[in-house]
Amino acid sequence: MLKNNFIISLVILISFSCCNSKKHSDSYIILSGETMGSTYIIKYKGEKNYQQEIDKELKRINEELSTYIKTSTISKFNFSDSGIIINNTDFWLNLKKANEVYIISEGLYDPTVMPLVNYWGFGYTGHKKVDKIDTTKIEEILQSIGMNRIEIIPKGNNNFFIKKPDKRIQLDFSSLAAGYGADKIAELLEYKGINDFMVDITGEIVSKGLSPTNKKWVIGINLPREDASIDDYLLTVEISDKSIATSGNYRNFFGEGKERYSHTINPKTGFPERSNLLSTTILAADCMTADALATACMVSGLEKSKKMISKLKNVEACFIWVDEKNAMQVHTTPGFNK
């Protein structure tokens, strides 16, 4: 797992009811529920409740992309000896985006880290800390890591054989699946003719149109400190017709003596990445891209991330880190707050 689904680093600065569904002022409907090991909140201007269709769509996506479901498409790939044949499905779209960000990040974003994620106790084999680090075992696992090792062979009729040369190769799309899910629910709402909405799945957010205040949607970026509450915000950003996602290491880790191991694994070293970068928030046209890039930045570190984001069109970022004096600092790209 590159990004833990239980971390929600972005919070909508609007009071939501705890109930599952309710009408709001100006005919806004609020829906909430569970998906992908966490929760979702959806708010839209309309008269009809689409929760049943939304839950059905999220269930379908989860059944393709969850490593915790043994019959999912990704699990079938992970436990196959040489790969599987797929068509133009959710798995395929996530695979393409993962490969795109793998190239952009020069291999630092790599969903084939699944065996390492399991080793460090953040994966589907169970959440447990490593009792004693085995560097020989890590080196052995690293031999099967590498998105470039996976071969895509067209089979006609929009079918592809996703081939792996080593049966140990496994994928983990948790760093982009929530963003992808938010994109798909946004598509569903647009298909229903809804023009003002906000979709938040595990903290990955798609916005369109205006909020109930007839203004842009206001998003709070959490204070990246482990003792901070979910309502402690370092800054806010107003968005409309954009997607936003955050990744951070400050809440999800295991302790081992004085050492702490975060859930973001560096595919080059095999170890959890440690740097002065506390969190990264990405603004992009689609949420799957924002989600994946946020994780890519957490692996890449501050300086590499600045260079990487500066080369991308229609992508903005907010980096929060600590300097040499242990003071928290913030850097935003020119278009982040516009």
**What domains, with CATH codes, occur in the chain?**
10-61+178-332 (3.10.520.10), 68-163 (1.10.3980.10)
**How many Cβ atoms are within 10 Å of 137's Cβ, its own excluded?**
12
**CB-CB neighbours of 233 under 10 Å:** 16
Q: Are 322 and 127 in contact (CB under 8 A)?
A: no
Chain segment 107-135, per-residue pLDDT in tens: 999 999 999 999 988 889 877 777 788 99
Each residue of 10-60: pLDDT tens digit? Answer: 444 543 433 444 444 469 999 999 999 999 999 999 999 999 999 999 999
Tens of pLDDT, residues 270-317: 998 878 899 999 999 999 999 999 999 999 999 999 999 999 999 999
Can you tell me the distance from the alpha carbon of 263 to that of 213, in angstroms, rounded to the nearest whole number? 37
Contacts of 211 (CB under 8 A, 6+ apart): 14, 43, 196, 198, 217, 218
The answer to whether the pTM exceeds 0.85 is yes
What is the per-residue burial (b if ≥16 Cβ within 10 Å, else e) of 145-168?
bbbeebeeeeeeeeebebbbeeee
Rounded mean pLDDT, 158-187: 97
Angle (CA) 37 67 123, round 5°: 75
Kindly report the average pLDDT of the chain as a whole number.
88
Task: Express each pLDDT in 49-70 by its tens digit.
Answer: 999 999 999 999 999 999 999 9
Phi, psi of 141 (to 5 degrees): -65, -40
Sign of the dihedral through C-alpha 38, 282, 207, 174:
negative
